[in-house]
Amino acid sequence: MKHLLNLLAAVALLVWGTHLVRTGVLRVFGANLRTLLARSLGNRFSAALSGIGVTALVQSSTATSLMTASFVGQGLISLPAALAVMRGADIGTALMAMLFAQDLSWLSPVFIFVGVALFITRQASTAGRVGRVFIGLGLMLLALERVVQATEPMMASPVTQMLLTSLASDLWMEILVGAVLAIVSYSSLAVVLLIAAMADTHVVPLNMALGMVLGANLGNGLAAVLTMAKSSVEVRQVTIGNMVFKFLGVLLMGPFIGQWIAHVEPLLPGTAHSVVLFHLAYNIIISVGFIGFTDWVAQWVARLLPKPASAQGSRAHHLDASALATPSLAISFAVREALYQADVVETMLLGVLDVIRKNDEDLAQRLRRMDDEVDELYSSIKYYLTKISRDDLGEEESRRWADIISFTINMEQIGDIVERVLQDIEEKKIKKGRRFSEAGMAEITELHQRLVSNLRLGMSVFLNGNVRDAQRLLEEKVHFRNLERAYATSHLMRLSDRTVSSMETSSLHIDLISDLKRINSHISSIAYPILESAGVLAPSRLQNPRAVPIDPRAEPDHP
């Protein structure tokens, strides 16, 4: 029992080390890896090469699958290109297994010491996240050494011998065991390394180890299918297509295990090398040999999983739960959904002017109902972001996380104000059959046009983070405030001239231009995080805050 516990602890340490490396690399290079994938999808061969590089860094073909599938779900790449990336990803995992199969145990204490020193001293910086990767590498090497030590005494157990004898005669049972291990550990790399270590110590015979390797590859594909089970059809097509290739590879390589043992294994220096080289050969065959069939498999998968007819023409929801395992990817999804929320707000705002001009009560009610969608989007984005582990975010991504929250709050509050404005227009203007004076309507139109322009500028600032555009947004805030004051004064002058239409709509007019100013203040708030992070935002506009008495009844210029 003690030896079994030692083995299980070593396996757990191996899986945990793989997790640390994967999450650490994604924290440091996550956004750059996504960019690399996106830029290398011109043809299937460059796509496959990018899959090799990204997976070699992340040490997880499943993570690469998540990123690639998300591109398909967003309509950025085709399904054949995504399947080509996955062919390269499988080779990348196999190459890393080849590397770790070497005797690198002497590097374990070096990696752990350097990693811990970096992580403790500079935890919140990039160096600290690189330290996390070193810790993971060190733990993986240490775990492999512990696996070898724990498996040697188990060979003497009669139970072990009986179990191995029962499994060794059934290839499909060996495949099943390897697949289950890969699904449970969520890492085919860790399982292949474990199998290689156990084969090297003769805990499992070589033929059984090779069968388990086939199962580990199959389980890796099945794990991605299960992870993406609730995603969109386009995303699931990638994982199913990848699973088809893996299954074809198992059918092709399974019958040749005996020939491998007879003709290839004697030429290799050790059993562990035979296992990882067989793993590499399997992935090269299904990647290089089958890459010409990506179009055919993509067409077959598209027929197997057709896009639902009800989904034709509907918008894509970007909050993919499967992307939560890759924080940088999840952040980008949240940004896209936040921009859609802003699009809905823009539609509401654009419609306000038509309601005022045409006294269109039906349009006002439709626009008011759109605020429910704005509120639902805010709740969905907020809930999605709370499921992203803040510990897995780098400094820049953490700042982006906060920016998204701030942006969606402002959009939600703008939606509420627009809904209230529309209700006031219905009650105070449409139902009473009143109209603004010609001068008053011209003022409202001017403010409305500036407001829409500022909203679009604010969306650009949120998306691109351009400091100059953020400064322009704050400059527009000052100009908008001055216009609001000037138009309020000119309205009072029309009242003194006893203009009938101005007198009838006076309350609505003053409230309306005030609400437009409030909306503009929320839009201007988008600029504050950008300017603050750039170090160009003054702490206060007051030259001497203590010298100026504060009127508690005064309305703040911004929320």
Full 3-state SS string of 499-521: CHHHHHCHHHHHHHHHHHHHHHH
User: What residue has token string 């609505």?
Assistant: 508
- The answer as to whether 212 is a domain residue is yes
Q: 473 and 373: one domain?
A: yes
Helix axes 438-464, 327-358, angle to 10 degrees: 170
Domain limits for position 267: 1-153+169-304
- State how far the alpha carbon of 484 is from the alpha carbons of 179, 348, 443, 478, 528, in Å: 67, 21, 9, 10, 22
The burial class, CB within 10 Å (0-12 / 13-18 / 19+), for 444 is: buried
Question: For residues 107-118, b (16+ Cβ closer than 10 Å) or e, as one string?
Answer: ebeebbebbeeb
- The answer as to whether 547 is a domain residue is no
Last residue within a domain, chosen from 245, 270, 304? 304
Separation CA 133–CA 276 (nearest Å): 23
Q: 283 and 418: one domain?
A: no
Q: 203 and 287: one domain?
A: yes
Q: 221 and 338: one domain?
A: no
Q: Which of 152, 115, 90, 108 is nearest to 14 (CA)?
A: 108
Contact call for residues 52 and 86 (beta carbons, < 8 A): no
Specify the amino acid at residue 320.
Answer: D
According to DSSP, residue 556 is labeled: P
- The answer as to whether 95 is a domain residue is yes
Contact call for residues 109 and 288 (beta carbons, < 8 A): no
- The answer as to whether 314 is a domain residue is no
- State how far the alpha carbon of 250 is from the alpha carbons of 241, 256, 317, 542, in Å: 15, 10, 36, 72
Q: 263 and 328: one domain?
A: no
- The answer as to whether 18 is a domain residue is yes
Cα dihedral 126, 129, 135, 136 in deg (nearest 10): -130
Count of Cβ atoms closer than 10 Å to residue 29 Cβ:
20
Query: How many helices (H) and strands (E) are present in the chain, helices listed first?
Result: 22, 0
Q: 202 and 254: one domain?
A: yes
Separation CA 72–CA 33 (nearest Å): 16
Q: Which of 94, 40, 96 is nearest to 67 (CA)?
A: 40
Report the CATH number that the domain containing residue 453 is assigned in CATH. 1.20.58.220
Q: 328 and 468: one domain?
A: yes
- The answer as to whether 159 is a domain residue is no
Q: 37 and 99: one domain?
A: yes
Q: 335 and 264: one domain?
A: no
Q: 141 and 208: one domain?
A: yes
Q: 64 and 198: one domain?
A: yes
Last residue within a domain, chosen from 304, 338, 359? 304
The total number of structural domains that make up the chain: 2
Last residue within a domain, chosen from 304, 339, 358? 304
Q: 275 and 342: one domain?
A: no
Backbone angles phi, psi at 227, to 5 degrees: -65, -40
**Global pTM exceeds 0.85:** no
- The answer as to whether 82 is a domain residue is yes
Separation CA 52–CA 33 (nearest Å): 12
- The answer as to whether 297 is a domain residue is yes
- State how far the alpha carbon of 122 is from the alpha carbons of 28, 125, 223, in Å: 14, 6, 35
pLDDT per position in the chain (559 positions), as tens?
676 687 778 778 877 877 777 677 666 665 566 666 666 655 666 777 777 776 666 656 666 766 676 667 656 667 787 788 887 878 887 887 788 777 677 788 888 898 898 888 876 677 777 888 888 888 877 877 776 676 656 555 666 556 666 665 678 888 888 888 888 766 677 788 878 877 887 778 888 889 889 998 898 888 878 877 777 777 788 888 888 888 988 888 888 888 888 888 888 888 888 888 998 888 888 888 777 788 888 888 888 888 665 444 444 467 777 667 677 778 888 898 999 999 999 999 999 999 888 888 899 999 999 999 999 999 999 998 988 876 667 677 788 888 999 999 999 999 999 999 999 888 888 888 788 888 888 888 999 999 999 999 999 999 888 889 989 998 888 888 888 888 888 878 877 767 666 677 777 888 888 899 999 999 999 988 888 877 776 665 545 545 444 444 444 444 4
